Amino acid sequence: MPILWVVAVIFVVSVVGFITGRARALQSVGGDSRQLHSLPLYYGSHAALWAVVPAAATLIVWLLVQPLLVNSRVVETLPDRLLDKGSSIGLVMSDVRRVAEGLDVAVAQGALSHDEAASIGSSSVNIREFLGSIGLALGSDVSPEVVDAAQLHRGLNATGSALMSWIVLAISVGGAAYAYRRSNADFRARNVVERGVLGLLIGAASIAILTTIGILFALLFNTIEFFKVYPATEFFFGTNWAPSFSGRGGLSDLGVLPLLWGTFYISFIAMLVAVPIGLFSAIYLSEYASSRVRSVAKPLIEILAGIPTIVYGLFALLTVGPLLVSLFGKNTLNWMQGGTAVMTAGLVMGIMLIPFVSSLSDDIINAVPQALRDGSYGLGATQSETIRLVILPAALPGIVGAILLATSRAIGETMIVVLGAGAAARLSMNPFDAMTTITAKIVSQLTGDADFSSPEALVAFALGMTLFVLTLGLNVFALFIVRKYREQYD
């Protein structure tokens, strides 16, 4: 683990920097720390920061950039003959990487000496058999060009890594030395260190932005890639979902409409369960219940929110599904063919969302000022009339916002629909039919052994983009409604 070693050495340099920087500052005032501008600790931290931060930043950037550079360099040298055979650059490159990794593993295991690995050519041994013998399976036979490319890959990577280690270490030592030289009585170490720490804090806060950018890029690039191989109009307006994985030809229908229908149908049933139960629970808890009932019932409902979705998924698949079949299945009404259905997933998802709706509504109802209630009682209204005619209208924007947020949660929910809704995409009105959703199809398209450049795998990214836009839109809309129509009472 050479990178681990580099990190360890940086750590040692920073400790040495801390001790020497602190010592030099103290020495400059003859050991009397009162004459220093800052506490001795800051001089040490200053040196340690200089040893770590620039070096670590270089290391991270280098680790991200090197694979890209090496890749493009190797792709340039690949002969055209390899690419003509109908295989994409991505596939050839993944072979190249696998061979290169395999040779590295062979050296690490001691099956090959360093020189042997470097000189292993296309002619000498059957690479595939050899790598197979040390436990690395290669998909297809390896052509000589691929082996050459793999050797180039290894060579570039080795030089790159060596160069990286030395440069990073030089930066670390250089930084520590620079800070050491600056350590003396007049140097304002605290101000510099605090500015540095503030920079780190800002960096940490920006990770949220980096994550969003990462999500957007991951979705966007692959979605564009998908629309290059599959027409966008057919994706958005196609009413048939029938992916065919390689072997049956590349003709698949990838229309999103059946999936959208399944998603909305299941979410609708979930909301049909969650909204009345959640809302009435919230009203009862905040307006009627004694504090003893409240202190027991509220945490009980919130337990429902803390249960992982895989538990609900299993509950749908193994308990609710068979139960519904026994009620509506062949022996009774014959509405339902199998345990996985829109109804199953919708019901269970509704249960999951009860606490979501109820705790949000509870907060909102509690935020309605007492004066409104008192006024209503004073006019002779009963409690329920007060709730229906005064409190709910006052809390309505907040409640609508809560329902929209819960809907967005329902649309993005994965495990319950993967296990409970079925796999068949269809446009049907019967809630006892099996249907499927966007999230379930993302999972099924990306968990197979599909090649990532095929439309069947890339469609998952387009689906992810659709999902992301849908949920984000709902969230923004919910916030907008809450902000726009909120009554200000203070």
Pick the binder of another protein from 30, 81, 208, 248 (CB under 8 A).
Answer: 208
The 3-state DSSP class for residue 205 equals helix
Q: Report the distance separating Cα 158 and Cα 163, nearest Å.
A: 8
> Is residue 439 part of the contact set for another protein (CB under 8 A)?
yes
Tell me the C-alpha distance between 326 and 332, whole Å.
Answer: 8
Minimum CB separation of residue 454 from another protein in Å reads: 14
**Quick check: 339 and 432 in contact, CB under 8 A?**
no
Contact flags string 396-435 toward another protein, x per CB under 8 A? ---------x--xx-xxxxx--xx----------------
Q: Which of 158, 198 has the CB closer to another protein?
A: 198
Determine the size of the site formed for another protein (CB under 8 A): 91
54 binds another protein (CB under 8 A): no
Q: What is the spatial distance between Cα 12 and Cα 176, in angstroms, rounded to a whole number?
A: 11
**Given the complex with another protein, which of 150 and 442 has the nearer CB atom?**
442
Query: Counting contacts by CB under 8 A, is residue 52 touching another protein?
Result: no
Please report how close the Cβ of residue 182 comes to another protein at its closest, in angstroms: 19
Q: Does 326 bind another protein (CB under 8 A)?
A: no
Which residues from 367-396 bind another protein, rule CB under 8 A? 382-385, 387-388
* Count of other CB atoms within 10 angstroms of residue 353: 27
H or E element at residue 241: strand 241-242
Is residue 310 within the footprint of another protein (CB under 8 A)? yes
Which parts of 126-143 fold into alpha helices (H)? Answer: 127-133
> 147 and 99 in contact (C-beta within 8 Å)?
yes
Q: Binding residue for another protein (CB under 8 A) from 179, 351, 406, 459?
A: 351
Closer by beta carbon to another protein, 20 or else 466: 466
Question: Of 365, 360, 387, 363, whose CA–CA distance to 376 is shortest?
Answer: 387
Of 69 and 472, nearer to another protein (C-beta) is 472
Closest approach, Cβ 308 to another protein, in A, equals 3
Q: Whole-number minimum distance, CB 67 to another protein, in Å?
A: 6
Q: Which of 28, 122, 309, 337 binds another protein (CB under 8 A)?
A: 309
Stated as kind and residue range, the H or E segment containing 253 is strand 253-254
The pairs formed by 86-94 with CB atoms below 8 angstroms and a separation of 24 or more are: 88/453, 90/452, 90/453, 91/451, 91/453, 92/146, 92/149
Any contact of residue 206 with another protein (CB under 8 A)? yes
Q: Closer CB to another protein, residue 124 or residue 384?
A: 384
Of positions 14, 20, 157, 222, contacts another protein by CB under 8 A:
222
Residue matched to tokens 């006024």: 375
446 contacts another protein (rule: CB under 8 A): yes
Question: Under 8 Å CB-to-CB from 332, ≥6 apart: which residues?
Answer: 326
Q: How far is the CB of 411 from another protein (least distance, A)?
A: 7
Q: Segment 17-36, which members bind another protein (CB under 8 A)?
A: none
As a whole number of angstroms, the distance between CA 457 and CA 225 comes to 11
Binding residue for another protein, selected from 137, 204, 251, 371, defined by CB under 8 A: 204
Q: Is 119 in the site for another protein (CB under 8 A)?
A: no
Which span sits near another protein by CB under 8 A: 50-58, 262-270, 354-362, 391-399? 354-362
DSSP state of 242: E
Helices (H), 342-454: 342-367, 370-378, 383-386, 392-412, 415-420, 438-446
Tell me how many degrees the CA angle 484-488-490 measures, rounded to the nearest 5. Answer: 160
Q: Binders of another protein among 60-99, rule CB under 8 A?
A: 64, 67, 97
Angle, helices 291-306/342-367, rounded to nearest 10 degrees = 140
Judged by CB under 8 A, does residue 219 bind another protein? yes
CB of 327 to another protein, least distance (A): 15
Tell me which residues in 183-202 interact with another protein (CB under 8 A): 190, 194, 197-198, 200-202
Strands 241-242 and 253-254, how do they pair? antiparallel
Give the Cα separation of 248 and 259 in Å (integer). Answer: 22
Q: What character string, x for contact with another protein (CB under 8 A) and - otherwise, covers 227-266?
A: ----------------------------------------
> Token pair 């809560």 is at which residue?
402
User: Least distance from C-beta 119 to another protein, angstroms?
Assistant: 26
Residue 16 CB-half CA count within 13 A? 13
